[in-house]
Structure 1
């Protein structure tokens, strides 16, 4: 512990007041593990146990592997822990405990829900074992599930377990979850960050002295060694051991010095020193080093001896292992497990093993591990692969992927399956089976999609697959292309696959669904409709869940296309089911149809369906589906005038990056921008809606951009920016014209028609209104019909028919109110009154304006109420100012003081709940401020917001970040 006394004292002090998060960082060989080992050897708080987990250098794709391996030997009586039913989720990770664990729970909503349930079960085990400190070494090598679990523990409101993690900062990937752990202020816990630095000359001298019985070393020798090792403890140790083995050290007077200084050559790297030291050992000891290097992970003595070269008797091999341990290159822990003292030494020996010998040793390791219980499938996959046994590699890698999927660790499953499909020469039947298991949504980046798709197409090009196998492979290529948003190419593959998918009606129906859903393609609606109607002809012999999925997809597709028959299909979706899978499909169906009811303007039906869906999601803990339902309900609340508290709710939903995907956050973010506009904050509204439109263009198909484009265009129209309006609405309206899906044009058609009139393009405006009216004529779609009425009133207004226009605006107002959609009804009433004023019907106009002013004021539409108030006063009417007149100032695109306070704490790593506690706000209000700051600075995530404000110097550091 030379030179680490201060760090050790700090660790001991902070752990006296748990819970705490301790971060120990430093380069390889700096002494992180030695510091942790010394702490754990002396840290014995009353009634608290310590659990030590180590992340292996060779990343093994095994869900929560380091934590599972640490927990497994911590108890011999699982049944005696009194675990709840939640522990049934542990069965995939601890198969040997199956008889002592509760039954496995029903499948979770998705991988995220499964992981969350698994994390809670492991947390319960830690509590039952009275673990007070979980120490995890080398976290830079941790799998994603382990990192997520550490984040889960650190974010718990009632954190009971302290965390100590060590890592190398230089080996953290830019997108690693470890960055969130190291930058986030823990909830309800203190945080200590220790950065270990190299030793100085004095520390180098002390360390060498400690290795030489405490005797003094010369200043010249200490300086020489420090210059060649840069003060890195591991390099110092290996250099001294090597010089001792060479007899390069000698006593002179009362101190140790170099022997023949001019001839001493200390290797420049730890690797070279290790290899020279190992070469000085006997053959059996060198074989033990090679065996330990190939094993990599700590292993029992017997396993190391078995993996050593087969020649030689067991006694001589055991003696060689003892010599290797005695050299200091290997170590044996209290459990009898043997491993290298440092991973740099392990890698040096491993890389020096000739490739043929290394393959043979990996094969011996694999055969040794095949007899272990439980079967270490991840290690077996690695060793068989390195041994060149592709059949065994594929078998165990698939088992590892299955285990990851059962544990909700889709990220690990993706890595394993992607590796198999792109690097193993598999027969077509195996390709079909493995591809069916890939959670496509988790493939990151187009490159991985492309690699997988190339592998699948390579199988097709060989001509080996049977027709049904080729059809299934094409079906999966179509799925990949859907994920890549290459919708037209996806249609081609799906159409090619269909003729030979008759053996699998479910896949055939899904392929038809690809062809029937109108997302993002230029295919006319009639073609989509043809495929959706073919789906209905698929035999009903498929499994109940497949039938439900097809019914939900078909209803959604038909309603997206504006087809009335979609409502009849939607009516067949059950209210509930007995299995988790069917309940999920029913919940999704209710959400989809509820959203379609909103688009059609059937608001009471939309609220009933969405409320039902959120209720199901609450009951069955479908966290993401519940948030999706809440996001759509927020949009419905905007439309129906339920604005009380809506800003906080929408802001919270728009900022929910954990449970909502970017497309799902568009609706609440748009609501936030619309509320800004209604309340008179044009700059903030414009920035918000512009960001929403950018996100829609980036993350969704063309259909997702229609409503944001209409909202932003409406704001720009009010500012007289006609050219902007025409540019914003041109691409979306052409998309709708080509598709024939006029049911989506409610927010877009009126604003574009008016801009065309204002630009002198009245013929185009008239054609647009006629096409819109024809497109929704036979649909029971109150929303689009109200928009058509508004378009007709605009048409009359610009044709200089004020009385006719006034009557049409009155009809439009009634249509909006019937939905109910009070804000648009009031705006139509205002326009009716304006037309009456132009026709010299001032009495009737002022009466309508007075009612409109009252309605807008009650609703909270400040900007519009003020405009009506000025009109009334201009015509001599007495109007009392609303209570909010002269209220809070607008800061435009600048952060308000409160937003600055929130962002300052966010940059310091605080969560919304912590910020709320510091500033005495509700978490929802904090979320609203964070959302506002993101919109003003035009960023789409909290991380980007933090980077932007730090770069701009917009906030100062939070001085309390490192405190409790």
Structure 2
């Protein structure tokens, strides 16, 4: 306890640590949860609510019962530190590792516990598979917990946990039986949506159970008791307690900091035997905990503040010797001021280790942010030099300190070392974060900058825009470093590559085109540049132009690294398949099924995923499923978890086509709603599938919303737009359907890129047919035929037959159309693609009805309706059901002999049906639903009837058919103009 404050000649009592108040219920709940079967207790709450105090009070009571616990804390990722909290917990819990008599497995712990090297078994043989190495490390930790007889593993602030720590927790709680009870504290609002922490409760073994606790703020009475315990138990007036409660909302840390600040200011007085505020109307309490802490820090002496600044810069528990080195104070001055630093209530000394740290992370961050920039750089430089002297220097911490000190060479060296170590262990997220932080904050030489940017796996970075800061750094190097043409081209190529990754396709292409003349022929950069230019992204270009970039590439240099060759081979296969070239399948066979190098694993995972995506476009669904399965297996084996969402979205797309709709809505919803951890491209693909599914089940409004979101991504835009246009056709809005497809016609079919026309061409054809533009519709079919040719591409070939069937139907050749629709259905079924096959059979049956083949058509429609219902396409099944229900009383059937009927200028039976419903006032959309045909078919039949009866409007048609006695009486109220 520090000496009291002098006020009006009287010394106020020194403040005590506050008593544990208002948490009896939570303590009992914790005790009940951990008294029996293994449990995982999740304590969540805002900063300062008392999670740490609750945990430590509970663990103290457990220690009295003889239950041993290990406690660790996760630090904010200013210093990425793999398994840091678990390592700290074990280090704190054991001072004699030799007595544990660990097995040879524990040799895997040597890199994390260098100080125990003499006591640990020999290091095991290195494993090339990073996942196997990590699994071995996890098993070694479990053995340590067992030998230490640990009952509880408690980790604090798990919202900041690194990926490896969360994986270890998943490993721990999924074991059967669960080795220890696990207690975690975290702030729910700071947990990233993609965090593995959210999956923890679902991974528990069957004999474990999750328990959630949420500490509540103190009420006024509890606040009074809390404050009283800080003031030697003196009475606290109700008015004072209400004042403090109102300004702190009962958050314990805020209450404590406010009282400490008022004590430092001498704003407390004794009145009527109790404690109250001096000058009730003039005391101000800072609005946040942070502000209260900072005001208290400013009241300390400069050397004491220096000690606090050094502790904040080290950003975690630090031994006094390191802390002394960072302060730059003499040992005598440090010794004198360290007492005041500890007595301020901001720092605490940790147990056996004797390390110092801030009592609360909020204090550390508040103090750090308040350090003047010049002083902060000096402190980081001293910290880096001090940590370099450790027996095993902590490279991730060194990377941070030298980066923030502006020491470029050292920052680059340690950043690359730390990133390489993270990558080798499968922790690519930390590797990407380390390099991105360096590139975004330090002006680097162009050569170093290019090397580092090529190492960033942007997909592993969280946040909505990891690209802009990197592009800005590259542009600064290009503009300000006086580079040679070759060096400038290398930087410019990286700008273009990153821009294209960010979705700025045309801007990226311009940069790459400007770079190519100065890139070395045969280099990896030249090859990658050509592949990027070959991809049909952005504005429409003829497919031949894209292919030229691939076919005219100079041969690769013999000195090219094997990883570069693997990367280029996978990318080239993807580009060829995207461009519709069958040679892409031969190239895809060069992608290995498995690799052991984690860096190669990332390349191969993406390669298989990309080939699987293109196989789906080609209609090679077995190949697509196999490739995606390989990608997923590799991603899971090598812990490339950031690729799993992309694989999941591609698999959802494949499942939509193949009719595997069970659970598809839920799977896509998870991807769409995760806007923090899932890439926009993957969210848009999931939204496309969700929209298509909602359209099939009848929720058109929701479908439109999902499809419009999907159209935000360049790779999903064409198919999403086609689906939106189909919704318009279903609603009878032919003009809007034509307008929507007009915008992308050149991109989808004009340049000969058939792989993007598979879903687009049928909708474009249908829209043009419905608008009476049969010539342009035929042009679409011809363009698709010319692009596809005789390629072994089942999906576009089936799409082509479907388009021809539409043209035949529009041309008044229902028998030919029926046969073509049957061919399309058979082609779809062979893929298999059941939904499209069923819709094609429905249209074939309707064409058969138009030719009078009711006995064949009606059973076919009934079977189609039943199968659609079983699939989940309720809207379509209901439409056919309504049509069939009304067929019994149809008096429009005309008896005729064998062969195709010739109606001449007479209306066909179907045209008479349409005319009857037109007279009744139905719109094209309503007529289509009633007759189970498309709106464009109705529009075509209306135009045919108008031509035969020589009228120029729908109203005139209705009048003519009534006056001619072709249909029943006309309700004149329906004739209200066009």
Q: Tell me whether the two structures share a fold, i.e. TM-score over 0.5.
A: yes
Q: Is the 8 A contact 2:628 2:651 kept in 1?
A: yes
| Structure 2 match to 1:732 | 744
**1:559 and 2:559 equivalent?**
no
Residues 838, 195 of structure 1: alpha-carbon distance in 2 compared, 3 angstrom cutoff: closer
Q: How far is the alpha carbon of 1:303 from its aligned partner?
A: 3.3
Q: Is the 8 A contact 2:423 2:598 kept in 1?
A: no
1-structure distance, mates of 2:502, 2:592: 32
Q: Over residues 254-292 of structure 1, what are the superposed CA-to-partner deviations in whole Å (9 max), with x where a residue is unaligned?
A: x6779999999999774477458744xxx9877756655
SS at match of 1:53: strand
2-structure distance, mates of 1:43, 1:572: 59
Gapped regions of structure 2 (runs ≥ 5): 1-18, 872-876, 894-978
Residues 228, 796 of structure 1: alpha-carbon distance in 2 compared, 3 angstrom cutoff: closer
Task: Please point out which of 14, 34, 37 is paired with 1:15.
Answer: 34
Q: How far is the alpha carbon of 1:530 from its aligned partner?
A: 0.3
| Structure 1 match to 2:973 | none
Deviates more, 1:532-541 or 1:791-800: 532-541
| Structure 2 match to 1:696 | 710
| Structure 2 match to 1:44 | 63
**1:487 and 2:497 equivalent?**
no
Equivalent residues in 2 for 1:371-770, closer than 5 Å: 371-384=389-402, 389-443=407-461, 448-502=466-520, 505-535=523-553, 537-539=555-557, 541-573=559-591, 588-602=606-620, 639=657, 643=659, 646-651=660-665, 653-655=667-669, 657=671, 663-664=681-682, 681=697, 683-684=698-699, 686-687=700-701, 689-698=703-712, 700-701=713-714, 703-711=715-723, 713-714=725-726, 717-718=729-730, 720-770=732-782
Deviates more, 1:179-188 or 1:819-828: 179-188
Q: How far is the alpha carbon of 1:575 from its aligned partner?
A: 5.6
Q: Is the 8 A contact 1:689 1:711 kept in 2?
A: no
Residues 226, 93 of structure 1: alpha-carbon distance in 2 compared, 3 angstrom cutoff: same
**1:193 and 2:233 equivalent?**
no
| Structure 2 match to 1:332 | 349
SS at match of 1:195: coil
1-structure distance, mates of 2:60, 2:544: 73
Q: How far is the alpha carbon of 1:460 from its aligned partner?
A: 0.9
Equivalent residues in 2 for 1:298-313, closer than 5 Å: 298-307=317-326, 310-311=329-330
**1:791 and 2:803 equivalent?**
yes
**1:65 and 2:74 equivalent?**
no
2-structure distance, mates of 1:571, 1:236: 66
Q: How far is the alpha carbon of 1:574 from its aligned partner?
A: 5.2
SS at match of 2:70: strand
Q: Over residues 349-371 of structure 1, what are the superposed CA-to-partner deviations in whole Å (9 max), with x where a residue is unaligned?
A: 77887776665555444333222
Q: Is the 8 A contact 1:225 1:236 kept in 2?
A: no
SS at match of 1:338: strand
Residues 609, 410 of structure 1: alpha-carbon distance in 2 compared, 3 angstrom cutoff: closer
2-structure distance, mates of 1:250, 1:751: 81
SS at match of 1:765: helix
| Structure 2 match to 1:920 | none
Q: Is the 8 A contact 1:23 1:182 kept in 2?
A: no
Give the aligned CA root-mean-square deviation in angstroms: 5.1
Q: How far is the alpha carbon of 1:175 from its aligned partner?
A: 5.5
2-structure distance, mates of 1:774, 1:42: 79
| Structure 1 match to 2:954 | none
Aligned length: 847
Q: Is the 8 A contact 2:244 2:258 kept in 1?
A: no
| Structure 2 match to 1:866 | 881
2-structure distance, mates of 1:138, 1:575: 40
Q: Is the 8 A contact 2:97 2:116 kept in 1?
A: no
SS at match of 2:389: coil
Q: Is the 8 A contact 2:43 2:184 kept in 1?
A: yes
SS at match of 2:78: coil
Residues 378, 834 of structure 1: alpha-carbon distance in 2 compared, 3 angstrom cutoff: closer
Greater RCO, 1 or 2 (C-alpha within 8 Å, sep 6+): 1
Q: Is the 8 A contact 2:70 2:92 kept in 1?
A: no
Q: Is the 8 A contact 2:829 2:837 kept in 1?
A: yes
2-structure distance, mates of 1:635, 1:480: 27
Equivalent residues in 2 for 1:6-405, closer than 5 Å: 6=24, 7-17=26-36, 18-23=38-43, 25=45, 28=48, 32-44=51-63, 48-56=67-75, 59-75=78-94, 77=97, 80-82=101-103, 100-106=122-128, 131-138=150-157, 142=160, 145=163, 148=166, 152=170, 156=174, 161-166=180-185, 189-198=209-218, 200=220, 204=224, 207-208=227-228, 212=232, 216-217=234-235, 219=237, 270-271=292-293, 274-275=296-297, 278-279=300-301, 292=311, 295=314, 297-307=316-326, 310-311=329-330, 314=331, 317-318=334-335, 321-322=338-339, 325=342, 330-335=347-352, 336-341=354-359, 360-384=378-402, 389-405=407-423
2-structure distance, mates of 1:868, 1:262: 81
With normalisation by structure 2, the TM-score equals 0.72
Deviates more, 1:92-101 or 1:526-535: 92-101
SS at match of 2:661: helix
2-structure distance, mates of 1:821, 1:523: 30
Deviates more, 1:589-598 or 1:433-442: 589-598
Residues 709, 697 of structure 1: alpha-carbon distance in 2 compared, 3 angstrom cutoff: closer
Larger Rg belongs to? 2
Q: Over residues 34-54 of structure 1, what are the superposed CA-to-partner deviations in whole Å (9 max), with x where a residue is unaligned?
A: 443333222238775322223
Deviates more, 1:268-277 or 1:189-198: 268-277
